[in-house]
Amino acid sequence: MFQEERRTWLTSHARSNGRVDVNESAEALGVTVETIRRDLNDLENKNLLRRVHGGAIPIEGYVYESSLATRKNQFIEEKRRITKKALEFIGEAETIFLDEGYTHQIFAEIWNPQHQVTVVTNAIHTAAILCAKKNVEVIFQWSSLQHPQCFPIRNEWRPYCDAVCACSIHTCGLHSANAE
């Protein structure tokens, strides 16, 4: 295996698993631990990985998120507790913004609002769950998918767009389950 192939494997492995171990990688790739250490040091110098004792983690650190399929099976009870606590704070809110994530899917599954509420989300699974709920209007951020049903943001949302752009809501378009 060439050096670049090894380094690509190490970076991909760290990103998909949240970490890479020197000994396991050396065995998997059929090279010495010294070779893996050199590769990891070089990848750290290129800001692709961060070295830790015994291996490396993705440079994204806490920003890096594993796939939803992976997160769906991790910390389930903790996510349910977080969701139940979050429900205590919703009250009579008229609008809620939900980002992508399995915790938000759990929220969508167990939440049954008794009042009319609008939910803005960029998570298709969460949006699908909420669309079936009574009293919930879903506004789904769709602009990056280039779907032909996109329409401009409603005027009442424009003042808030700058404040929430970091959450992937853009003025180029939203999709609503019950578009006007």
Q: For the segment 22-46, what is each residue's pLDDT rounded down to a tens digit?
A: 999 999 999 999 999 999 999 999 8
Together in a domain, 52 and 94:
no
| CATH code, domain with 12 | 1.10.10.10
Contact indicator for 108, 128 with CB cutoff of 8 Å: no
Together in a domain, 88 and 58:
no
Together in a domain, 50 and 95:
no
What is the span of the domain harbouring residue 59? 3-63
Q: What is the rounded CA–CA span in Å between residue 109 and residue 158?
A: 29
Total domains in the fold of the chain: 2
Together in a domain, 56 and 100:
no
**pTM of the predicted model as reported, rounded to 2 decimal places:** 0.46
Together in a domain, 95 and 152:
yes
Domain termination residue (choose one: 22, 45, 63) = 63
What pLDDT digit, counting tens, does each position of 84-133 carry? 988 888 888 899 998 888 889 999 999 999 999 999 988 888 888 998 89
Which of 125, 119, 84, 82 has the alpha carbon at shortest distance from 101? 125
Together in a domain, 121 and 149:
yes
What average pLDDT does the chain have? 77
